[in-house]
Structure 1
Amino acid sequence: MFNAIQRSTGRIAATLIVAGLAAVSLTACGASGNGNAQPGSASDLDAALEAGGELTYWTWTPSGEAQAEAFMKEYPNVKVTVVNAGTATDEYTKLQNAISAGSGAPDVAQIEYYALQQFALSDGLLDLGAYGFGDLESDYTASTWGAVNLNGGIYGLPQDSGPMVMLYNKAVFDQFGLSVPTTWSEYIADAQKLTAADPSKFITNDAGDPGFAQPLIWQAGGQPYKTDGSSVTIDLQDAGSKKWADTWNQLLKPGLLADIPTWSDDWFRALGDGTISTIITGAWMPGILESSVPDGAGDWRVAPLPSYDGSPVTAENGGSAQSVIKQSKNPALAAAFLKWLNNSDASIDVFLGTGGFPSTTAQLEDPAFLEEAPEYFGGQQINQVLVESSKNVVPGWEYLPYQVYANSVFPDTVGQAYANRSDLNAGLTAWQENLVTYGQSQGFDVNK
C-alpha cells in the first residue's frame, strides 16, 4: 500500500544507492557478507520469542507503529523500535550504506518488490528458507511470492500487492456517454471522444513514470529483463514492449494524456474536479483515493484493467515485502517478528484497517472482505474486482539487478519521448542503450 506514492523520490538518491549496490553485487554472490546471521531452523523462532530481545524495524507503512504495538502486547519480552528512515529510495540509500559499512542496519526493513533483487544480490538479506518460510508459499498470491523467492532463496515475506485495475469517474463517463472499456482500443476511443467534447478533460494522466510504464509492458506480455547470475539480457523492443509503446503512442502523440505528474497537488485536484477520468493503477489505490480526494465521493468505480483482446490479464504495480537484514544480531527473533508481521491475522487486520490491499490468500478469500461496499465507490463491492485481478497477473516478469538505477534514468530517456510527444519506441531504445552501458560498466555481462 502507498508504495507507488513513494516512487517519486529524488533521482540523486537513486544514483547513490545504485553506486553502492553495484560495487558489491558481483563480488557478494555466494559470500557471507558483513552480516552476523547464521543458519537456523523453524524451531528457533519460538525459542527466540520466548527469550525476547530488541529489534529495529524500518518502514514507511502507515500501519507500522500499530502493528509493532500489537506484536509487543502479544510478546512482551520483545521491544520493537519502528523507524521511518525515509520512503522507498531514501530508505534504500541509507540501508545500502549501512550494509556496506557493516553496521547501522535495522533487523527488519520494508523493501519494494522491484528493488528486492538488488539487495538479495548484494548479499544484504537473510535467506529465510532455513526457518521454514518456504512452507508459507500457499499463503500468498503467486505473483507476490515470486517476488520474494529469488535465486533459490526466500528473501522476505510479501506485505501487500498491487494487481492493476482501472478506477473510473462514473459521473464523467455518464456525462460524456463513455462506455467502460474492456480493451485498450476502446480506451483510446473513449479518450478521443472525451477530449474532443471537452479539451480540458483527459482520460488519464501520464508525464512519464517507469513504475507505470513497466507494469503495462508486463501486462502486454513483455519480458524485457532476464538475469542469470551476473548475465543480464535487456530487450526493451521485445513484442510486449513494442505492443505497449505502439498503443500508448496513440494517446501520447495526439495530446490525449494530461501532462500532470502523478501524486502532485495538481493531480489530486484533477481527480476531484473531473479533469482526469480514469486511473490505471494498483489495487492499493482505492484507499488513497477515498482519503485524499473527498470531492470524488460517490463518483468513482473500479473495473478490470483494459487488455488487448478483452481477456482479464493484468500485472502488478507496486507492493512491498519485509526482509530480515543479514547484519541483524538476532536473526531468529527478527525472522519471528517478520513471520508474525506478514503472516498473522492479528497483524494483517491492522494493516487492512489502514486501507492496505493484502497479498495473503486467506484475506483475499474472506467473504467479509469481498463483500465490503464503500459508500465512496457508490456501494460497489470493489474488493471483488480487485481480488479477481490478483488472480490474473501475467507470470514470468523479472526486474533488473540494478532496477533502482534503471528507474532513475527513465526521465532522461523514455521521458524525452513524453516531453516531445514522440515515439515511445525510440525512448525505450535509448533507455536500453543506457542500461546496457551501465550494466557493463558495473561488471555485469549484459547482452542485448
Structure 2
Amino acid sequence: MPRYSRRLLRGIGLVCALALGATACGGSDDSDSGTKAVSEADVQAALKKGGTLTVWAWEPTLKQVAADFEKAHPGVEVNLVNAGTGNDQYKALQNAISAKKGVPDVAQVEYYAMGQYALTEQLTDLKGFGADKLSDRFSPGPWNGVKAGGEGIYGLPMDSGPMALFYNKKVFDKHKIAVPTTWDEYVDAARKLHKADPKAYITNDAGDAGFTTSLLWQAGSRPYTVDGTKVKVDFSDAGAQKFTGTWQKLLDEKLLAPVTSWSDDWYKGLGDGTIATLATGAWMPANLVSGVKEAAGDWRVAPLPQWEAGGKASAENGGSALTLPELGKNEALAYAFVEYANAGAGVDTRVKNGAFPATTKQLNSTEFQETKFPYFGGQQANEIFAESAANVADDWSYLPYQVYANSIFNDTVGKAYVSDTTLAEGLKSWQDASIKYGSEQGFTVEK
C-alpha cells in the first residue's frame, strides 16, 4: 500500500475519534508499508509450534470453529473475545491500536468499515499470505468488500448479506396482494395493503444508512468513487434518481411504518402482521426464528423487487470479514485460523450453526440450496439467497471514512423522514457534508 501524509493519516484517525467516540485511531504512519511475504511453510511451522491467539469477534458460530481448530491443532489456544458489536468493538480496537497495547491477533470488521482501516495501514495486507489466490472461492460482493477499494486483500470474507424480500404470506393472501417483482409493484402493494388495513404497512423505514446504500447499489447508483486518497461523492446519478423517485412516493403517501428496526415495536409489527415485508440480507432468517416466533409459518422469501421489469440485480446488506490488525502478534498462526474459519473446514461448521456463507462452494451446493426452512413453511429459501449472491455487482465502493459518513445520515437524509425535506435533498445534504468532511481530513475530494 502506498504511504500517505501524516496529516491524512491523522485525519482518518479523527474520523474514528468522532464517529466511534475513541480518543484516537493510533499510528500507522511509522509502520512498514511493504506487503509481508509469508509462505505456506511458515504457516505450517506456526501451527506446529502452537501458541495463543486472541480473536475479537461477535459472530456466534465462531465459538464452535475455535473449538474445532484447537482440537485439530492441540498446541493452539484460541481466546475468543466479544469486545462488542460493530461500533462498540471498533471503539475498543481503535483504543488498543492507539495505546499499542492489547491489540488482538484477529478482528472482525464489517465491509463498510474496512476502507478506513486499510487506508491507515492498520490491517495486514493478506496478499503476502497468498490470499489473492482465494478469490474464486467467494461470491463477488464480499470479495469486493475485503479489497476495500484498493489492490490489497485486507481480510477474508466471513459472511455476506445478499438481499431478498421477506414477506408475510398470511397478510398478502388475506388482502389478495401479489408478491411484487418490481419496486413500482411494491409501491402499488403498499397502497393496497394500507387501504385495506390502515394499521398495516408494507414495511418500516425510519431512515437507515445501510439500507439506503444497499438500495442505491441495487439501483445501479455508484455515489462513491475511491482511488487511494482521491474520492468523489455524487448522489445525482440515474440510479439514485430511481431510488428517490420511488421511495419518495412511499414517504409522501405515509405508506411506511415509522418504526426503528430492532426495536420492540418492530418485532411486534413483524409478529402481528402490521409490518408485512422486509428487504434485507440473507442473514435475517435466524433473527425471525428467535425474535418473531409467533409468526412461524406465516413468512416466505422472494427475490428482491427490481428497478426494471425482468432484471436480476441485487446488492449486499451487511456482512463482515476476519482481519489481521497490523499490531497483532502471531501473524502466521492468525492467518491459519482465518483461512480455516472462512475458506476451510470452519465454513461448513458455521453454516450448520446458522451463518450465511460468502463462499461459492457452499452457496452452490445441493445440500445448502435444498435446505428446508420450517419457519418459511418448508420453503427452500437458500435457492433465492444463492441466486441473489451471484447477482451482486462487484463494483461498489464505500468511502474510506464511511463509518463517519453513516454517523451523520440522520442529520441529513434522515430529515426526509420527519420533515418536508425530500430524499433527493437529503442525499444532496449528505453528499455536501461528506465532501466537506473529507476535504477537512486531507482527502482530495472531487466535486
TM-score of the aligned structures, taking structure 2 as reference length: 0.93
Residue equivalent to 2:55 = 57
Residue equivalent to 2:321 = 321
Find the partner of 2:19 among 5, 15, 24.
15
Amino acid at match of 1:75: H
Amino acid at match of 1:343: A
Amino acid at match of 2:67: E
Amino acid at match of 2:442: G
Please give the alpha-carbon distance, in whole angstroms, between the structure 2 residues aligned to 1:402 and 1:387: 30
Q: 415-424 vs 108-117, which deviates more?
A: 415-424
Residue equivalent to 1:7 = none
SS at match of 1:202: coil
Q: Any idea what the Cα deviations from partners look like across 1:346-378, whole Å, max 9, x if unmatched?
A: x12221133211001111111111111112101
Percent identity for Structure 1 against Structure 2: 50
1:201-240 mapped onto 2 (5 Å cutoff): 201-240=200-239
SS at match of 2:109: strand
Please give the alpha-carbon distance, in whole angstroms, between the structure 1 residues aligned to 2:131 and 2:439: 35
Question: How many residues are paired up?
Answer: 431
1:338 corresponds to 2:338: yes
- Alpha carbons of structure 1 residues 352 and 211: separation in structure 2 relative to 1, 3 Å: same
1:401 corresponds to 2:405: no
1:132 corresponds to 2:130: yes
Amino acid at match of 1:119: Y
Per the TM alignment, residue 422 of structure 1 is displaced from its structure 2 partner at its CA by: 3.6
Moved over 4 A (4+): 11-14
1:295-444 mapped onto 2 (5 Å cutoff): 295-310=294-309, 311-345=311-345, 347-420=346-419, 422-444=421-443
Please give the alpha-carbon distance, in whole angstroms, between the structure 2 residues aligned to 1:12 and 1:156: 19
Q: Any idea what the Cα deviations from partners look like across 1:313-357, whole Å, max 9, x if unmatched?
A: 110000000001111221111111111111112x12221133211
Find the partner of 1:142 among 140, 149, 163.
140
Please give the alpha-carbon distance, in whole angstroms, between the structure 1 residues aligned to 2:196 and 2:80: 51
Per the TM alignment, residue 274 of structure 1 is displaced from its structure 2 partner at its CA by: 0.1
Please give the alpha-carbon distance, in whole angstroms, between the structure 1 residues aligned to 2:151 and 2:21: 25
Per the TM alignment, residue 305 of structure 1 is displaced from its structure 2 partner at its CA by: 0.3
Residue equivalent to 1:93 = 91
Q: 298-307 vs 134-143, which deviates more?
A: 134-143
Residue equivalent to 1:44 = 42
Per the TM alignment, residue 242 of structure 1 is displaced from its structure 2 partner at its CA by: 1.9
Residue equivalent to 1:183 = 182
Residue equivalent to 1:8 = none
Residue equivalent to 1:112 = 110
Per the TM alignment, residue 98 of structure 1 is displaced from its structure 2 partner at its CA by: 1.7
Please give the alpha-carbon distance, in whole angstroms, between the structure 2 residues aligned to 1:157 and 1:335: 9
Please give the alpha-carbon distance, in whole angstroms, between the structure 1 residues aligned to 2:39 and 2:21: 32
Contact 1:183 1:306 in 2 (8 A): yes
Please give the alpha-carbon distance, in whole angstroms, between the structure 2 residues aligned to 1:382 and 1:13: 41
Residue equivalent to 2:71 = 73
Please give the alpha-carbon distance, in whole angstroms, between the structure 2 residues aligned to 1:421 and 1:64: 46
1:253-292 mapped onto 2 (5 Å cutoff): 253-292=252-291
Gaps of 5+ in 2: 1-14
Per the TM alignment, residue 64 of structure 1 is displaced from its structure 2 partner at its CA by: 2.1
Amino acid at match of 2:38: G
| Aligned residues: CA RMSD | 1.9
Q: Any idea what the Cα deviations from partners look like across 1:67-120, whole Å, max 9, x if unmatched?
A: 111110111101110111110011111112222322221000000000011111
Please give the alpha-carbon distance, in whole angstroms, between the structure 2 residues aligned to 1:239 and 1:351: 39
Residue equivalent to 2:9 = none
- Alpha carbons of structure 1 residues 331 and 125: separation in structure 2 relative to 1, 3 Å: same
Q: Any idea what the Cα deviations from partners look like across 1:166-207, whole Å, max 9, x if unmatched?
A: 000000000011001000000000000110111100000000
Please give the alpha-carbon distance, in whole angstroms, between the structure 2 residues aligned to 1:355 and 1:276: 24
Please give the alpha-carbon distance, in whole angstroms, between the structure 2 residues aligned to 1:152 and 1:18: 28
- Alpha carbons of structure 1 residues 395 and 18: separation in structure 2 relative to 1, 3 Å: farther
Per the TM alignment, residue 24 of structure 1 is displaced from its structure 2 partner at its CA by: 5.9
Contact 1:252 1:418 in 2 (8 A): yes
Per the TM alignment, residue 291 of structure 1 is displaced from its structure 2 partner at its CA by: 1.8
Amino acid at match of 1:434: A
1:184-199 mapped onto 2 (5 Å cutoff): 184-199=183-198
Per the TM alignment, residue 16 of structure 1 is displaced from its structure 2 partner at its CA by: 3.5
